[in-house]
Amino acid sequence: MSGRNGELPAYEICECHDLLVIKGIIEDSPAQRNFTFLDVGAGKYTWGRSVSEYLNQEFGGKGLTFRVIGVRGEQNPETTIIEDGCVTRFELGAFKIEEISSEFTKCELTLKDEVDGAWASWTMRHLQDSVGTLKQIVELLRPGKGMLSFDGFVYALEGDDLSPSSLVKNIFPYISELLQDTGNEFLAFPVLQTDNYHFILKRKSSEPCKIPFSYERRETIIEIPSHSSEGIIVFKRQTPRPDVYKMTLDDFNSLNFNMVKLAKTENFYYFYNHQGDRRILCFPDTAPSGSLSILKWIIDKGFWKISNE
Ligand SMILES: C[S@@+](CC[C@H](N)C(=O)[O-])C[C@H]1O[C@@H](n2cnc3c(N)ncnc32)[C@H](O)[C@@H]1O
């Protein structure tokens, strides 16, 4: 995955196609007229361009307007604001994601409580303060509705073994626990046989996003595979590590999961995606975790739908 820089038109976090998620978000709010979608770490801005094209095709002329905003660290030749049918597209370069709230204020963009869908793909792992930035992004989401899709990053707690392998092993439980701490609904989802993990968070209310950590120190780590080599932050927890609900086969079966073929062996759950490939869904210690409501939304909307064989 090295060299990846936003060339893809979709990120497919938790195996959900972004355009279907966007459609689902819009359909769930029939009275809402204006929507905002955000690409945090936009690379070459391909995502925003393909989302704009889709929104114009699917929702143009229906009285809806959209803001599609991509932000990235690299400088643009110029700040770009493009009026494109029912979409206003922003391509904002030289943007400090760690200061995302104040950076938007500088651009005179009001986004607090207004973002309906945000994606941060292969971005959080590069940030100086991923945890603090996550809090800021969550507070941009529309209360009760807005969703953030993102992938794994490393942080440590006081007393942790700071070897790269141990840090990577902690990504899934630590981010799941962090999301649980915030009090929002979320789905934590392992990516097929890799050390990458996907997460979707749905903002519950307009309350500030709670993170019960205090900053201890920054540690320089030589290299963490597929992650930033810029170092990590070590935090002290102010509350005990919470229990995070791990989904079971019964949960999947109770959610009309006949749409997806599922089998369980001693160590793995399997499911078949729509191409019919057999894929590993989870290992016992990385079972999909969090709240069933998001899993139910994904299944009810048919994002994982396959033809029955
Ligand atoms: C590996 S690329 C991923 C691009 C795209 N999201 C994808 O998945 O293909 C990382 C992106 O995050 C941005 N980025 C990383 N750290 C950043 C920071 N501290 N501030 C602003 N942008 C940052 C880079 O500019 C780049 O656009």
CA–CA distances in Å: residue 100 to residues 105, 106, 138, 175: 9, 10, 11, 20
Full strand arrangement of the beta sheet holding 156-157: 156-157, 232-237, 213-219
Q: Which sign, positive or negative, has the C-alpha torsion 110, 183, 29, 59?
A: positive
Count of beta carbons in the 10 Å neighbourhood of residue 130 = 25
Which residue's alpha carbon is nearest to atom 19 within ligand 1?
Answer: 127
**What is the predicted pLDDT for the residue at 255?**
78
Give residues with Cβ within 8 angstroms of 297, minimum separation 6.
24
What is the rounded CA–CA span in Å between residue 13 and residue 172? 15
Tokens in use for 164?
A: 């790269």
What is the rounded CA–CA span in Å between residue 99 and residue 133? 7
Instruction: Answer whether 0.85 is exceeded by the pTM.
Output: yes
CA–CA distances in Å: residue 39 to residues 9, 132, 133: 11, 18, 14
**What is the predicted pLDDT for the residue at 193?**
65
Mutating to test ligand 1, I would choose from 8, 47, 72 the residue with most ligand atoms within 8 A of its C-beta, which is 72
Answer whether 10 contacts ligand 1 (Cβ < 6 A). Answer: no
Q: Which domains does the chain have, with CATH numbers?
A: 13-242 (3.40.50), 245-309 (no CATH)
Answer whether 117 contacts ligand 1 (Cβ < 6 A). Answer: no
Paired with 214 in beta bridges are 236
**What is the predicted pLDDT for the residue at 282?**
64
Q: What end-to-end distance do the CA atoms of the chain give, in Å?
A: 32
Strands 87-92, 65-71: pairing is parallel
**What is the predicted pLDDT for the residue at 271?**
64
Which residue's alpha carbon is nearest to atom 11 within ligand 1?
Answer: 41
Mutating to test ligand 1, I would choose from 125, 126, 129, 153 the residue with most ligand atoms within 8 A of its C-beta, which is 126
Answer whether 119 contacts ligand 1 (Cβ < 6 A). Answer: no
Strands 185-190, 197-202: pairing is antiparallel
- Note the maximum CA span of the chain: 57
**What is the predicted pLDDT for the residue at 257?**
62
**What is the predicted pLDDT for the residue at 256?**
67
Please answer whether residues 156 and 219 qualify as being in contact, where contact means their C-beta atoms are separated by less than 8 angstroms. yes
> Which 8-state DSSP code applies to residue 78?
S
Q: Which residues of the chain fall short of a pLDDT of 70?
A: 1-3, 192-193, 229, 256-284, 305-309
Ligand 1 atom closest to Cα of residue 8 = 9
User: Which of 190, 231, 161 lies closest to 13, judged by CA?
Assistant: 190
Please answer whether residues 60 and 86 qualify as being in contact, where contact means their C-beta atoms are separated by less than 8 angstroms. yes
What is residue 268's three-state secondary structure?
coil
Distance 73 CA to ligand 1 centre (A): 6
Distance 41 CA to ligand 1 centre (A): 4
**What is the predicted pLDDT for the residue at 119?**
98
Answer whether 96 contacts ligand 1 (Cβ < 6 A). Answer: yes
